[in-house]
Chains A and B, each alone.
Chain A
C-alpha cells in the first residue's frame, strides 16, 4: 500500500488524507491469553475504517488499544506523527478521540440534552466554583456549548426527545444519543463499537446515513467494528479483518470480500 502514502481518492470521490494513526506490531496479552498478536495497520485522515472478524477475534480489544484504554504489551501506537505513551482518559478526550460502546453507557436519569452536554466537558474552561455559582463566564460558556449541542441534535434529528430522560428511550434512539455525545466532543477520530447491533433494518439504514453524514460533514475519521457484513461493505473505505487475534486481511471491501482467508474464517473451511 505504499502507493497511498499521500492519501487516495475513494470510489465516491472523497479525498482521503495521509496517515493519522499508525499501529505497529501490536500485541496484547492478558496473563496467558493473547488477545492480539502482532497486528499492524494504519488509519488515514477522513476515512471510514472497519474492523471485522468473528466473535472473540479481538476487535473490541483492538478498539481499546486505539482509544488508549489498553496499553499494548508489545508494539507502538503513532498518532499524528508522535509515538503515544500511556494516557489518562481525559488526555484521550483532549487528543480528539471519542467513542461509543457496544453496551450503551449513558446516564439513564439525565435528559438527552444533558447527556450530550457531558460530551463537551473536556472543552469547558470555566472552573468548578464559577460553574457552581453560575456566574460570569460560566453562564456565557454554557450558552456557547449549548449552541454546539443543538447543532448536533439537529444533525442527528433527535429534537423530539431533547428533554426526555434517556432511560425512557428505545434502544435505537439510545444508540443515536450515544453517537451525539461522542460527536459533542468534536473528535478527530470517532470509534464506534458495533453501532448497529440489535437494530432493525430501518434503524440500521438511519444509522448508516448518520455515519456517512458525520464523515462527510465534519470530516471525522471513523473506525468502526461491525458484524453486519452488508453494512461494512457499503460504509467503509478500507477493512481490517481479524481472526483469533491475528490480522488475516486488510484492504478495500471488494478486495477483502474475495480474500480466501477471510472467506475461510467467516464461512469455515472443509477439513480433509
Chain B
C-alpha cells in the first residue's frame, strides 16, 4: 500500500486524497453506518483497504479506463466506496437517483453507455433487468444487499461483497495494475459524472474533473473552517451534486467522518444519535421539522405551551443577534441563557442539531419565518446558491452576514456577473468540463471564456454586495399589459405557509395571474383533526370548503404583500384552485429534486387553466397518475375555483 501514498502536493485525485488521509488520519473514523441497530465504523485505513479490494474486484471483472459505472442505491459506505473504486480503475462513477422509474434510468444508462451497474438492492436490480434488453452496453450488474437475489440468473450478476472478496483474493494479480491506474489519474481526469435533474427536457450528464471537485472542496472547507473533526450525515440522494461535494469532495479533503443512516425512514433518529457538526438540507427538511415541532406543541400541556411561546418570542427577538455577535442587553442575554436551559437546548437535542457549527440550506428559497426559527435557536443556518455545473458553490453567506432574502457573496475563487437581461453568470475552478456527448448544450451554456449562464435572474444588492435571486430567467415574463411576471417570487411567498406544499402561478401573456395550490397533507390534516373536519381522502380534504377558505386567506395575505412591490404588483393572484392530487415526480410533474416542471404542469392541466380564466366556478377533470410500481390509473374530480381578494396596486407610472 505504501507505494500508493501520495505526498500532499500531488493529491490530484480522490484516490490520491484517500492515500493521503490514510497516512494522516489512518486511525480516525472515515465512515459510519448504522446496521443491526449499531453504528459500525471504518477508519480511513480500513476504508482504503475495502476500496482497494473493491477496485481490484472491478479489475477482475474487466473494468477498463473510461468505462462508466452506474451506482443506484441509498447512501451506504459501500456505494461511496464503489465510486472511489471506479475512479481507481480509471473509470467514471455515475450515481443515479434511486427513486427513478425504469424508463428514466434507461435514458441515463443508455446515454452514458454504462458497462457496469452497482445496485443497492433487489428493487434496483429489477429495474435494471427490466431495461437490460434496451441498453446493450450493460455487461455486469452488482448488488449490495443479497436479500431476495438467490433466484436471479447470475451469469452476469454478482454480489458486490463477492466482487470485493474476489479482488482481495487476487491482490497479487491486480495490485500492480491498480497502482498503475491510480498513478495515471491527473487533475484533469474525470472525477464523476452527474445527471442534472432536467427541469427542462432530458437530463444532461455533467462531467466534473478532479480539479473541479478538489479545488471546490479546498476553497469551501477553508471558507467554513471545516476540519477532520466534522461529522456529517449523508442522507441526500447520491446522484445529487451536493452529496458528492459534501460526502466525498469535502470529506476527503478535510478528512471528516461521513455517517450513513440505517434507512431512509430512520433519518431523524440517526440525526439525533450522530449530532452532526456540519449539516445540509433543502428547505423542505427544515420546514418538515418545524411543522412537526409545532404540531407536537399544539398537543402539549398549557404550562409547557406557555413556556415554549414565551421563550421562543425572546429567541426570535435576540437569538439571531447573539449568534451574529451583535450587542444585546444583559437582561436579555440572561433570559436567553435560561431559555437555552429549558427550551432551546432540549429542542435542539430532539432535532439532532445540538452540535451544529455550520448548516446550509439551498435548492429553493426558504421561508423567512422558518429560517429565523432555526437561527433564533442558535443554529448557524446559512444559505448558499449553486448548481451542478458549478460543483455546487456559486455564492454563500459568510458567518455574521446571514439573511433569509439573499444567497450571500460569491464563494472563494468564484467570479459572478449579471448579464444585460438580469441573468446571473459565473466562472470558477469548479466550472464543469462539459455535458457528456452534448457539445451543443455545452456551447450554449458555457462561453469560450468559461462564463456559465445559470438560467436564473438576480441582482447584487447595493451596500451589502449580496446576491438576490428573483426567478428562473426564462420564467420571468411579461403579462398582457407589459407588467413583469415572476411566478417563483409569488409561489415562494405562498409556499412559506405550512398549509401550502406547492403552488404554480400562471399569468405570462395574460391580463391577470391565477394559481394551482397543493395543500400539505400533514399540516392541513392535523388542522382538520383539531377542527373536527372529517375527510376520507386527500382529494376530499383538498376540496373541502373550509380548506378553500383557509387557503384563500393565505392567498389574500400574499396578494397584500405582493401589492407593496411596485415592480411585481401585477402578479397578484385573482383566482385559484386546489389541486386534487399532489404534484409528483413519478408523473413527471416535478423533477426528482422536487422542482415543479412548469411546462408539463401547464400542458397536463390545460383544462384547469382554461377554467381559471373563463370565469367558471367549478371544473370537472380526469388525470392520469402513475403508481410507484409503474402502473397507471386515473383520478376524476370536480374542482371548485375560488376568487381571491386583490389589493390595490401601487403601479408604476409607466403604463
User: Which A residues lie at the B interface, using CB under 8 A?
Assistant: 12-14, 146-147, 150-151, 153-155, 157, 159-160, 162, 209, 212-213, 216-217
The verdict on B263 contacting chain A, using a C-beta distance below 8 Å, is yes
Could you say which of B38, B147, B262 contacts A155, with CB atoms under 8 Å apart?
Answer: B147
Could you say which of B151, B263, B266 contacts A216, with CB atoms under 8 Å apart?
Answer: B151
- Nearest 4 CB-CB pairings of A with B: A150-B36, A160-B265, A150-B37, A160-B266
The verdict on B650 contacting chain A, using a C-beta distance below 8 Å, is no
| Beta-carbon contact of B148 and A209 below 8 Å | yes
| Beta-carbon contact of B151 and A159 below 8 Å | no
User: Which B residues lie at the A interface, using CB under 8 A?
Assistant: 35-38, 147-148, 150-151, 262-263, 265-266, 269
In the docked arrangement, what's the CA distance between A45 and B313, Å?
A: 67
Inter-chain contacts of A13 with B (CB < 8 A):
151
**Chain A nearest CB: distance from B159 CB in Å?**
14
| Beta-carbon contact of A213 and B148 below 8 Å | yes
| Beta-carbon contact of A151 and B36 below 8 Å | yes
Residue of B nearest to A14 (CB): B151
In the docked arrangement, what's the CA distance between A154 and B34, Å?
A: 11
Tell me how many residue pairs across A and B have CB atoms closer than 8 Å. 35
Inter-chain contacts of A162 with B (CB < 8 A):
37
In the docked arrangement, what's the CA distance between A165 and B151, Å?
A: 36
Inter-chain contacts of B150 with A (CB < 8 A):
216-217
**Chain B nearest CB: distance from A159 CB in Å?**
5
Inter-chain contacts of A150 with B (CB < 8 A):
36-38
In the docked arrangement, what's the CA distance between A162 and B36, Å?
A: 11
| Beta-carbon contact of A154 and B36 below 8 Å | yes
Q: Do A159 and B263 form a contact, CB below 8 Å, given A147-B36, A150-B37, A154-B35?
A: yes
Could you say which of A12, A151, A157 contacts B151, with CB atoms under 8 Å apart?
Answer: A12
What are 15 A-B contacts with C-beta separation under 8 Å? A150-B36, A150-B37, A150-B38, A154-B35, A155-B147, A157-B263, A159-B37, A159-B265, A159-B266, A162-B37, A212-B148, A213-B147, A216-B148, A216-B150, A216-B151
**Chain A nearest CB: distance from B99 CB in Å?**
16
In the docked arrangement, what's the CA distance between A36 and B266, Å?
A: 47
In the docked arrangement, what's the CA distance between A49 and B38, Å?
A: 36
In the docked arrangement, what's the CA distance between A213 and B37, Å?
A: 21
Residue of A nearest to B268 (CB): A160
**Chain B nearest CB: distance from A239 CB in Å?**
21
**Chain B nearest CB: distance from A155 CB in Å?**
7
Inter-chain contacts of B147 with A (CB < 8 A):
155, 213, 217
In the docked arrangement, what's the CA distance between A14 and B151, Å?
A: 9
In the docked arrangement, what's the CA distance between A271 and B251, Å?
A: 77
In the docked arrangement, what's the CA distance between A199 and B199, Å?
A: 38
Inter-chain contacts of A216 with B (CB < 8 A):
148, 150-151
| Beta-carbon contact of A153 and B263 below 8 Å | no
Inter-chain contacts of B35 with A (CB < 8 A):
154
In the docked arrangement, what's the CA distance between A94 and B1, Å?
A: 51
Inter-chain contacts of B36 with A (CB < 8 A):
147, 150-151, 153-154
In the docked arrangement, what's the CA distance between A159 and B273, Å?
A: 14
**Chain A nearest CB: distance from B632 CB in Å?**
15
**Chain A nearest CB: distance from B223 CB in Å?**
36
**Chain B nearest CB: distance from A75 CB in Å?**
37
**Chain A nearest CB: distance from B334 CB in Å?**
37
Residue of B nearest to A209 (CB): B148
**Chain A nearest CB: distance from B74 CB in Å?**
12
**Chain B nearest CB: distance from A165 CB in Å?**
15
Q: Do A159 and B262 form a contact, CB below 8 Å, given A147-B36, A150-B37, A151-B36?
A: yes
In the docked arrangement, what's the CA distance between A210 and B265, Å?
A: 19
Residue of A nearest to B145 (CB): A154
In the docked arrangement, what's the CA distance between A162 and B35, Å?
A: 13
**Chain A nearest CB: distance from B575 CB in Å?**
36
**Chain B nearest CB: distance from A2 CB in Å?**
28
